[in-house]
Amino acid sequence: MTEIKKQGKYEYIITKRGNMLTDAVIFASENMLRHILSDKAHLQIINVAALKGIVGPAVVMPDIHYGYGFPIGGVAAFSTEEGIISPGGIGYDINCGVRLMRLNINFSDISSRDIEQFLSLMYNKIPSGVGGQGTLKLGRKNIEGVLTEGGCWAVKEGYGLDSDTENTEEGGCLEGADPAEVSQRAKERGLTQLGTLGAGNHFLEIQHVSEIYDEQSSSDYGIRRGQMTVMIHSGSRGLGFQVCEDYLKVMRSASARYGIKLQDRQLACAPLRSPEGNKYFKAMQCAANYAWANRQVMAHRVRLCAKAVFGSSTSVDQVYDVCHNVGKIEKQKGRELLVHRKGATRAFGPGRKEIPERYRRAGQPVIVPGTMGTSSFLMKGTEKAMDMSFGSTAHGAGRMWSRSQALRNLRGGAVKKELDDKGIFLMAKSFKTVAEEAPQAYKDISEVVQVCHGAGLSGKVARLLPVAVMKG
């Protein structure tokens, strides 16, 4: 504790020392800090602060927990000229992200039978589970289109509306992606998984808006109390995993070749401007585009299922789609920086041109999902976040227990009964996953959100309560 100084109610600083090139900042409550120190995730952000070309502080969000290389919840920016790019700073599930959709239906106007039917239909139409394969089989030519055009490819092929990509971070596509830098094995894994949920912490959830904190911003986002919403949490599936795996091997030798001193070999990296760094950047962009196309196809099927259950006049409009695990070149603090966000959400403040015009007054919509059976939150980006965290905030609750610990402590059947008792429908491929992803295995989402709100990283707009959950 003596190495960490309290700088504000929810802000702690580890000042530059040893091999660190900059300070490290932890956003947390006092209660959370104790767990962070016992988890030793703070040691990982100290190592990140020693990476070549880092600009400003290395930052972690209140949902921090131990990860591969970077901690989950880590944010770090690097000079595009002298800095590095690290697969461990982006993660295996590239562009794991969340999409929020709003329905023109009041929760009070529908029956529990309707909810159960809606969930069951989506469960049948959207494949899930470990290695789950979809009904949409891509050919070699189509996979190239997905990797270069992302969500825009899906909309062009009839899976959704132009307004979907307009309300997606980066318009659902990172420009500069090059499929030539993606291995054949990664492409093969992507051929059969587009439009699938996956397993682990991924989910599809039917919710209703239980509380509004910011009337003006919620109106700008088209959200009102009592409204039904659907949230989709998924990523780039096997393709993204393979891209990370492939380039970790490349980076392990590249780090030594470029004389980069690493405090942890899991932080293997290369200069962004090197051939290895450039190739990974383009391949990572391909995986990010695949993830947006994946969520876009699922969103299209959610829309069809809603119309089938509630009637053809039902509208299902996208609020926003944010990504969690990505590296992007952004104009920050008057210069171009490569920002790594691993288990963190972009939270740009009002007026930024990257935000859809309809949302610029409020700031970027930020979606912070809870865990099976707990609240989720719609928040907004802030000017303060641009100064403190490179326009970033928390991405979810953050684990308290490892998956193995959750399995030792819980049984999936008992977790399902708890949800049943709360009136929350659950459909899942595996009770093992249900136990691993139980609410008890995660931090209190309300506390995470309060830290973000209190520190000024993002502002509370609305609270969403689950009524039905689909897990892989």
Structure tokens that stand for 331 in this block: 């104009």
pLDDT computed for residue 3 by the predictor: 85
Q: What is the DSSP letter of 172?
A: G
Partners of 230 in beta bridges:
101, 206
The backbone torsions φ and ψ at residue 340, rounded to the nearest 5 degrees and listed phi first, read: -90, 125
Please compute, for residue 221, the number of CA atoms within 13 A of its CA located in the half-sphere on the CB side: 33
What is the mean pLDDT of each successive set of 10 residues along the chain, which is 472 residues long? 83 96 97 90 96 97 96 98 98 98 97 97 92 77 96 97 98 98 97 94 97 98 98 98 98 96 96 98 98 98 98 97 97 94 98 96 98 95 97 96 94 95 94 94 96 98 98 86
- Is the distance from CB of 24 to CB of 389 less than 8 angstroms? no
- Does residue 395 have an active-site annotation? yes
The backbone torsions φ and ψ at residue 176, rounded to the nearest 5 degrees and listed phi first, read: 100, -5
The backbone torsions φ and ψ at residue 35, rounded to the nearest 5 degrees and listed phi first, read: -70, -40
Identify the helix (H) or strand (E) that includes residue 425. Answer: strand 425-428
Q: For tokens 């402590």, name the residue.
A: 409
Measured between alpha carbons, how far is 60 from 11 in angstroms, rounded to an integer?
10
Q: How far apart are the first and last CA of the chain?
A: 40
- Axis-axis angle for helices 275-310, 140-149 (nearest 10): 100
To which CATH superfamily is domain 94-320+346-400+442-471 assigned? tRNA-splicing ligase RtcB (3.90.1860.10)
- SS3 assignment for 349-379: CCCCCCCCHHHCCCCCEEEECCCCCCCEEEE
Closest CA to 32 of 383, 459, 444, 326: 444
pLDDT computed for residue 307 by the predictor: 98
Please compute, for residue 313, the number of CA atoms within 13 A of its CA located in the half-sphere on the CB side: 1
Structure tokens that stand for 36 in this block: 């962070």
Q: Give 50's contacts (C-beta < 8 A, 6+ positions apart).
A: 18, 19, 20, 21, 261, 263
Per the rule left: phi > 0, alpha: psi between -120 and 50, beta: everything else, 41 is alpha
pLDDT computed for residue 131 by the predictor: 72
Q: Are strands 458-471 and 425-428 parallel, antiparallel or unpaired?
A: parallel
Q: How is the chain split into domains, by residue range?
A: 94-320+346-400+442-471
Burial state string for 179-196 with b = 16 or more CB within 10 A and e = fewer than 16: bebbeeebbebbbbbbbb
SS3 assignment, position 239 = helix
Burial state string for 270-307 with b = 16 or more CB within 10 A and e = fewer than 16: bbbebebbbbbbbbbbbbbbbbbbbbbbbbbbbbebbe
pLDDT computed for residue 140 by the predictor: 83
42, 65, 233, 395: the catalytic one is: 395
pLDDT computed for residue 1 by the predictor: 43
Structure tokens that stand for 114 in this block: 């309707």
